[in-house]
Copies of this chain bind each other. A is one copy, B any other.
C-alpha cells in the first residue's frame, strides 16, 4: 500500500520543516489572547474570534482553487467552502469514505497550549498585547494551523497503509471497537523516539545562525528546541494517532459520507 505514502510527494517531505518555520514566524509576536476570544476584537456582523474569521475567509478563498478537493486537506470551517473556479481533479480513491476531522481540537490546543508555550519561551507573554500586530499575528496563526492540520490528518493515509498490511488484525480490533487495542497496534515507540530525535537535531541546526560563533549561537538561538520537540510529543503525535484510530474505527462502515 505504498501508493498511500506516494501521494504525499515532494511537498510532504517539507511538512515538518514548514510547521517548524510557521511556528517560528508565529511566535515572533507577543501573545495576543484577544485574537482567539470571540468578540474580543470587534468584527462587523460577526461573532467569531479574529482567528476564526480569518481561517474561515482564507478557506473560502482557497476552496476556489481546489484546496479542499485534495485528499490531504481538511477545512476548519467546512460550511465556508465554495465551488472551485478551476476544473475538478480526480484523485485516486485511496482512503475509505470517512468524516474524520479534528481541526476543532487542534485549534483549541494551538491557542491554549502550543502558542502560549512557544511565546513564553521568549518572555513574550510579559510584553502584553499589541493590537498593531493582530492582523499579522493571526495571518501567521492561520498558516501554522493549516500546516499542522495537513500533517495531522495525513494520519489517515498512514492508518490505511497499516490496515492494508495487517488487515485481519485490524478488522478484529475494529469489530470489537477496541480503540485502545488499535492505538497500541499503530504505535511504534522506537519510530516515535527517532522522529523526535531527528526533530531536535533539525530544530537546533535550523534555529541557530551558522555565521556566528558557538558561544554567541547559544545565546542567539532563535527557536527554543525543547518547545518544538514538546509540541510534537504532546500534540502533533497524539493528534495524528487520534486521527488514525478514528479513521480505522470507520474503516468497515458502508456508509457513504459526503
Contact = CB atoms under 8 A, between A and B. Distances in A.
Interface in A9-53: 10-11, 14, 17-18, 21, 24-25, 28-29, 41, 43-44, 50
A85 interface: yes
B28 A10 contact: yes
Interface of A: 10-11, 14, 17-18, 21, 24-25, 28-29, 41, 43-44, 50, 54, 57-58, 61-62, 64-67, 70, 85-87, 89, 131-132, 134-136, 138-139, 198, 201-202, 204-206, 209-211
Contacts of A54: 65
Question: Residue among A21, A61, A70, A135 with the most chain B CB within 10 A?
Answer: A135
A51 to B, nearest CB: 11
Given A28-B11, A41-B86, A44-B85, A65 B201 contact: no
Given A21-B21, A57-B64, A202-B209, 13 more contacts: A14-B24, A18-B21, A18-B25, A41-B86, A61-B61, A62-B135, A62-B139, A65-B134, A70-B136, A86-B135, A87-B131, A89-B132, A202-B211
A18 B67 CA distance: 23
Contacts of A139: 62, 65, 67
6 contacts: A21-B21, A44-B85, A57-B64, A70-B136, A198-B211, A201-B211
Nearest to A83: B44
Contact of A61 (B10, B57, B89): B57
A39 to B, nearest CB: 14
B29 A25 contact: no
A130 B70 CA distance: 14
A251 to B, nearest CB: 26
Contacts of A131: 87, 89
